[in-house]
Amino acid sequence: MCGILGLLLHDPTLDAASEICEGLALLQHRGQDACGIVTCGPKGRFYQCKANGMVRDVFDAAGVSRLVGGMGVGHVRYPTAGSSNHAEAQPFYVNSPYGIVMAHNGNLINTSSLLHFMDAVAHRHINTTSDSELLLNIFADNLQKTGKVRINEEDIFTAIRGLMGQVKGAYACVAMLAGFGIIAFRDPNGIRPLGMGSRKALGEGNGKDWLFASESVVADASNFHDWEDVKPGEAVIITRSGVSRRQVSPPATFAPDIFEYVYFARPDSVLDGVSVYRSRMAMGDALAVEVERVLKEHNLTVDVVIPVPDTSRVAALNLAQKLKLPYREGFIKNRYVGRTFIMPGQQMRRKNVRRKLNAMALEFADKNVLIVDDSIVRGTTSKEIVQMAKDVGAKKVIVASCAPPIRHVNVYGIDMPSRTELVAHNRSETDIAAAIGADLVIFQTLPDLIASVRSFNPAIPAFDCSVFTGEYVTGGVDEEYLAALECLRADNVKQRMELGGLGTMEGKGGGAVRHDGARVEESREIAPGCSGPMNGADSTVGLHNSWSLS
């Protein structure tokens, strides 16, 4: 899961970098591994700064001042597969044709066939394991087919139409053509979020400034208005001369990822017409009904409702109000530790839970406590939290999850690795409770979760609920594919990759290599994620990178 952003200022004498940097900080929750900005200045020259780390660490005043130009693209990265080293930041760049920069959020599922096409037909070298670089080169190849010295909007729409006919999976993209403008497009199922807004131009002129972003909160903070979502299968091209929009892909089932509403998105964002905050309130109301039913079945009572900060607070408060129970902030959060779900490595996640949260004994001692969390994924955090509650004197600890049991991997850009690492895989609710040390675990039902979100936009026909159901909206995902994917994503494999002992792809169009040296069948489609080494991280390759270790 990543955050993407594109900004075009109507006045070309102004620099966009500082606003892009501020926008990326607002999207930091979507990725804390690496970040980057590329801007376009006079004569179509690109300027870039990107590195491993948080936005506040990568972009200082001097670095931002070197990012010249009134339009740019930014990215915050959270790895799905691949290692987590300095060279993996986006946006990506390719010089031919025309000079293109792209930031991508999502995951492709047909990378093997695309790599073969790049090698055998397009004759383009893919230098990394990243499907984002691959996606950029598919776009570039389609643009190359125009054969023109200068292209127009019609050529770009044609190229994106060609791209959507070739790639499968989830992708929300913001691109920039040197000296031309910014471009956004979204996969035909609309799995990953992307929207746009405008405001009266800063500086001179009567035109408009334009913004693309993963979440509407960026528009709110920068005074952009008229926020609307990029439609599934739609492409939008913005230049200083105007805006062009076109549906370039045939209709498909619109199915945004429901986990955005459960966990990833900020509560003050609106995605596809649904307030994340309101949807979480509804989740709490629905979960309250299920909690009441299950507690009666087990003849249990609860003294207090305590949320796991921060994501579950909204739902927990509504649940407590509906059940007429006290709501208390029993866990105090250290805000300077990252989100444990998106930390690479199981050991790191476990170690950071107690650094991140502290249980207050006065809210737990001698009480039956209902702990509300947004979801239970690996169970690492939940187990530590339950133990913390018992350590400070809780009599019974009941855990309620706003999401159903997560039993399947995500192939569209969320790091839910091997199924065996998911605490709910092949386990009953009783077994899950035992695994995390709780007296009882209560899950939201899937129909209630869907209804909680859809109630705010009935026009959404479906949601991607694959982590709960194992049904993948794009098709093309079978057991063999999942087995190969799990080899790439398992935590122990990631650690080996960070030590340089594993490559996810061997040569051009090759299969993956497992840590034991066995070769994954080359015909299978491996989805490395919108991660992987970044072209041009070193100033001697591609664009000069203004970020420095010194």
**Model pLDDT, residue 127:** 84
Alpha helices in 441-543 (DSSP H): 446-454, 466-469, 479-489, 491-498
**Model pLDDT, residue 46:** 98
Burial class (CB in 10 A: 0-12, 13-18, 19+), 43: exposed
CB atoms within 10 A of CB 12: 17
Length of the chain: 550
Q: What is the spatial distance between Cα 105 and Cα 76, in angstroms, rounded to a whole number?
A: 9
Whether the CB-CB separation of 159 and 146 falls below 8 Å is answered with yes
Which residue carries 């019609």 as its tokens?
154
Which residue carries 């080293």 as its tokens?
85
Buried b (16+ CB within 10 A) or exposed e, 381-409: bbbbbbbbbbebebebbbbbbbbbbbbbb
Alpha helices in 259-345 (DSSP H): 259, 276-297, 313-323
Which residue carries 């979204």 as its tokens?
186
Q: What is the spatial distance between Cα 159 and Cα 154, in angstroms, rounded to a whole number?
A: 9
SS3 315: helix
* CB neighbour list of residue 145: distance below 8 Å, 6 or more residues apart: 159, 162
Structure tokens that stand for 93 in this block: 């760049």
Going edge to edge, which strands form the sheet with 368-373? Answer: 304-307, 368-373, 396-401, 440-443
Residue 539 DSSP one-character state: T
Whether the CB-CB separation of 137 and 94 falls below 8 Å is answered with yes
- β-sheet bridge partners, residue 74: 5, 37
Residues involved in catalysis? 2
CB atoms within 10 A of CB 303: 17
Closest CA to 307 of 288, 282, 332: 332
Q: What is the spatial distance between Cα 11 and Cα 442, in angstroms, rounded to a whole number?
A: 55
For 300-354, write each residue's pLDDT tens digit.
999 999 999 999 999 999 999 999 999 999 999 987 765 555 455 555 555 567 7
pLDDT per residue of the chain (550 residues) written in tens, 0 to 9:
899 999 999 999 999 999 999 999 999 999 999 999 999 999 999 999 999 999 999 999 999 999 999 999 999 998 655 455 566 789 999 999 999 999 999 999 999 999 999 999 999 998 888 899 999 999 999 999 999 999 999 999 999 999 999 999 999 999 999 999 999 999 999 999 999 999 999 977 789 999 999 999 999 999 999 999 999 999 999 999 999 999 999 889 999 999 999 999 999 999 999 999 999 999 999 999 999 999 999 999 999 999 999 999 999 999 999 999 999 999 999 877 655 554 555 555 555 677 889 999 999 999 999 999 999 999 988 999 999 999 999 999 999 999 999 999 999 998 776 888 899 999 999 999 999 999 999 999 999 999 999 999 999 999 999 999 999 999 999 998 888 888 776 654 555 445 444 334 433 233 333 333 333 343 344 333 443 333 444 443 467 787 765 4
- E strand or H helix at 102: strand 100-108
For 226-263, write each residue's pLDDT tens digit.
999 999 999 999 999 999 999 999 889 999 999 999 99
Whether the CB-CB separation of 110 and 169 falls below 8 Å is answered with yes
Whether the CB-CB separation of 192 and 149 falls below 8 Å is answered with no
Alpha helices in 307-345 (DSSP H): 313-323
* CB neighbour list of residue 480: distance below 8 Å, 6 or more residues apart: 521, 524
β pairing state of 368-373 and 304-307: parallel
Whether the CB-CB separation of 497 and 82 falls below 8 Å is answered with yes
**Model pLDDT, residue 86:** 60
Q: What is the spatial distance between Cα 29 and Cα 262, in angstroms, rounded to a whole number?
A: 14
Q: Which amino acid is at 55?
A: V
Q: What is the spatial distance between Cα 98 and Cα 83, in angstroms, rounded to a whole number?
A: 31
SS3 37: strand
Q: Which amino acid is at 143?
A: L
Sign of CA dihedral 72, 211, 18, 4: negative
DSSP string, 453-474: HHTT-TT----B-HHHH---TT
* CB neighbour list of residue 379: distance below 8 Å, 6 or more residues apart: 423, 432, 435, 436
Residue 421 DSSP one-character state: G
167 CA to centre of own chain: 19
